[in-house]
């Protein structure tokens, strides 16, 4: 008996979407008991073209796309001649055949006697095809926390800054003097790693070191430099073929933002009163928490009042701001902090405005979960791929997980979105919001294994500054420590950094690694041996406790701890077969 309750499809999201201007992708989810799936499709008006009473479609066998823990995802691509598509599915197992319609699932023998509703893809409108900027899939990012990355060569300590690298008893408000000019001076280092994009956490006026409570969105914080320094940084990066993405904090502002100051002064009489969510006339108290509900703020912090992004005036203000960033500074990407709490209307407004200035600008949302509702072609181009980060972390945290278990977790991530979104998902192992990934690794080789996965997956991978030298740090502020430039200059980290750079350059040189198509291979004798193929590239990662003998079939592009045909625990081999 087929488990019909496991069968699911909707003619939207990752189940049904236009891959390009000619192709519709259809995906169906079933239990493992289903042996074969057929999609029956045709133009919804096809029967009228031939003066027939009943609509009939053409059958096409679907193939297995993803194997999940409890489900199989089946797929087919169809090129509808007239851009429209009507369809249903036939699922088969053990001699049983069922038809899957929008309104019901029924035995094929009963199809004629009951009312059915077909699935429909109404029309392939080019404007509706999800089309992220193509350059993003070829970009390897490097995230920088400006205060901790690099001081400028002409830095003079005014007394406000701690000694560089001194993290004895660090405070949440400590400043170390990193700047935009300092970043610009280190761009050759970043370029040499193989990086092609930098992502900066907020750089605008604020009284914090992280700058997520912005006072003035139009002025670079003097701690980091000037607006001219910002422009010079972008121009210098572009000269080196490095893209620049900045952080947009539009869910909330700081308490010195002009609109909030006006509201605090005038109350309900302020013309900016509706720019916020204020629920009490005595909202302006000294209480650091807003758990009393007097106004809404980010994570109950009174120092970060929440902006009303439903308000057209708020939308206009920040839309004009983003246009200025794109037009006047030439930024290539905008990352939207707390991207799930700002309104959809707000995101669509900004998308329309900035894409009119630069159609190739990259809009990235910070969302930590399934984000299909924001990835429709009119809002974000991509989101931060936290499900992937969790999948990689759990595999090394739980040694009872097998390579097949990891595949299921990874395929869950891949099944969430259309293929063109998967190709630009912002994937990472750590950020300023998490513990450094090295803290979750038994040794540097495990870190290298995780980086090998990151850099051989579809998406737009990001390296957090210092991960290339295995920097450590569990919680804030330790995960935001100063880049140890003296150690780097001394050569202390040369060996590990060279391996990370080789991985990045391998990815840049092998387009196969950037594609979403992949095939896993399993070894019953080595359940924690990860082996997956992407065309003629094969990745071997031994996360088990026993050495594994690998027979090389060609010249390996990159290897670590690989000798005499044995892949030791914590070893990596990435091999390109030259004969294919």
Catalytic residues: 337, 366
On whether the CB atoms of residues 147 and 118 are closer than 8 A, the answer is no
Beta strands, E only, 62-169: 63-67, 72-78, 85-93, 96-100, 105-107, 119-121, 141-144
Q: What angle do CA 227, 432, 367 make, to 5 degrees?
A: 95
Instruction: Residue 90: name the closest of 70, 115, 118, 114 by CA.
Output: 118
Encoding tokens for residue 232? 């010079």
Encoding tokens for residue 437? 């990934």
- Buried-state track 509-541, b at ≥16 Cβ within 10 A, e below 16: ebeebbbbebebeeeeebebbbbbbbbebbbbb
CA distance 335 to 343: 15
Instruction: Residue 195: name the closest of 244, 267, 256 by CA.
Output: 244
Encoding tokens for residue 280? 């009490």
Q: What angle do CA 524, 526, 529 make, to 5 degrees?
A: 115
- Per DSSP bridges, beta strands 141-144 and 119-121 are unpaired
Cα dihedral 553, 556, 560, 564, rounded to 10, equals 40
Encoding tokens for residue 500? 């990370």
Q: What angle do CA 224, 227, 231 make, to 5 degrees?
A: 105
CA distances, 153 to each of 156, 157, 160, 182, 461 (Å): 9, 12, 17, 7, 30
- The structure tokens 């193989």 sit at 194
- Buried-state track 443-452, b at ≥16 Cβ within 10 A, e below 16: ebbbbbbbbb
CA distance 298 to 304: 6
CA distances, 205 to each of 60, 82, 150 (Å): 58, 54, 19
- Per DSSP bridges, beta strands 141-144 and 243-248 are unpaired
- The structure tokens 């910070």 sit at 366
Report the length, in residues, of the chain.
580
Q: Can you say whether the dihedral through the CA atoms of 484, 489, 493, 498 is positive or negative?
A: positive
Number of Cβ atoms within 10 Å of the Cβ of 350: 25
Q: What angle do CA 318, 320, 321 make, to 5 degrees?
A: 60
CA distances, 271 to each of 218, 237, 266, 283, 485 (Å): 21, 40, 9, 17, 49
């Amino acid at each position: 008996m087929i488990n019909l309750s496991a069968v699911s499809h909707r003619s939207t999201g990752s189940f049904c979407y236009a891959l390009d201007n000619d192709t519709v992708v259809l995906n169906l989810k079933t239990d493992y008991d289903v042996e074969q799936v057929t999609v029956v499709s045709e133009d919804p008006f096809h029967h009228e073209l031939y003066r027939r009473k009943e609509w009939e479609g053409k059958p096409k066998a679907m193939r297995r796309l993803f194997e999940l823990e409890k489900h199989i995802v089946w797929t087919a691509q169809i090129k509808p001649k007239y851009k429209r598509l009507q369809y249903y599915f036939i699922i088969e197992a053990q001699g049983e055949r069922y038809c899957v319609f929008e309104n019901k699932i029924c035995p094929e023998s009963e199809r004629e006697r009951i009312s059915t509703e077909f699935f429909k893809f109404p029309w392939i409108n080019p404007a509706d095809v999800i089309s992220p900027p193509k350059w993003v899939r070829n970009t390897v990012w490097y995230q920088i926390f400006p205060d901790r990355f690099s001081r400028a060569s002409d830095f003079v300590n005014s007394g406000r800054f701690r000694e560089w690298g001194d993290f004895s008893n660090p405070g949440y408000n400590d400043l170390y003097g990193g700047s935009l000019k300092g970043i610009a001076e280190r761009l050759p280092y970043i370029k040499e790693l193989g990086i092609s994009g930098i992502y900066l956490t907020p750089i605008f006026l604020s009284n914090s070191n992280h700058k997520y409570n912005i006072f003035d969105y139009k002025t670079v914080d003097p701690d980091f430099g000037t607006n001219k320094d910002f422009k010079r940084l972008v121009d210098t990066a572009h000269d080196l073929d490095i893209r620049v993405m900045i952080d947009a904090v539009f869910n909330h502002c700081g308490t010195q933002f002009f609109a909030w100051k006006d509201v605090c002064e005038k109350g309900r009489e302020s013309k900016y009163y509706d720019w916020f969510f204020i629920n009490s006339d005595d909202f302006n108290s000294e209480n650091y928490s807003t758990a009393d509900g007097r106004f809404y703020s980010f994570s109950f912090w009174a120092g970060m009042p929440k902006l009303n992004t439903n308000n057209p005036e708020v939308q206009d203000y920040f839309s004009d701001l983003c246009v200025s960033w794109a037009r006047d500074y030439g930024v290539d990407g905008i990352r939207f902090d707390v991207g799930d709490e700002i309104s959809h209307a707000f995101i669509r407004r900004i998308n329309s405005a900035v894409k009119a200035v630069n159609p190739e600008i990259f809009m990235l949302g910070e969302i930590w979960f399934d984000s299909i509702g924001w990835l429709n072609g009119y809002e974000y181009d991509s989101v931060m791929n936290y499900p992937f980060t969790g999948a990689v972390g759990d595999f090394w945290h739980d040694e009872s997980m097998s390579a097949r278990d990891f595949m299921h977790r990874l395929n869950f991530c891949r099944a969430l979105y259309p293929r063109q979104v998967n190709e630009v998902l912002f994937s990472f192992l750590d950020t300023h919001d998490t513990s450094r990934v090295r803290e979750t690794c038994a040794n540097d080789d495990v870190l290298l294994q995780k980086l090998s996965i990151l850099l051989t997956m579809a998406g737009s991978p990001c390296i957090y500054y210092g991960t290339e030298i295995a920097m450590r740090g569990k919680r804030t502020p330790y995960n935001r420590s100063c880049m140890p430039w003296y150690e780097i200059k001394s050569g202390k980290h040369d060996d590990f950094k060279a391996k990370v750079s080789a991985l990045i350059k391998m990815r840049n040189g092998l387009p196969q690694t950037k594609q979403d198509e992949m095939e896993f291979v399993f070894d019953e004798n080595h359940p924690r041996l990860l082996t997956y193929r992407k065309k003629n590239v094969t990745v071997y990662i031994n996360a088990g406790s026993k050495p594994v003998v690998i027979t090389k079939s060609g010249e390996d592009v990159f290897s670590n701890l690989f000798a005499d045909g044995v892949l030791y625990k914590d070893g990596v081999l990435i091999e390109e077969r030259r004969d294919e």
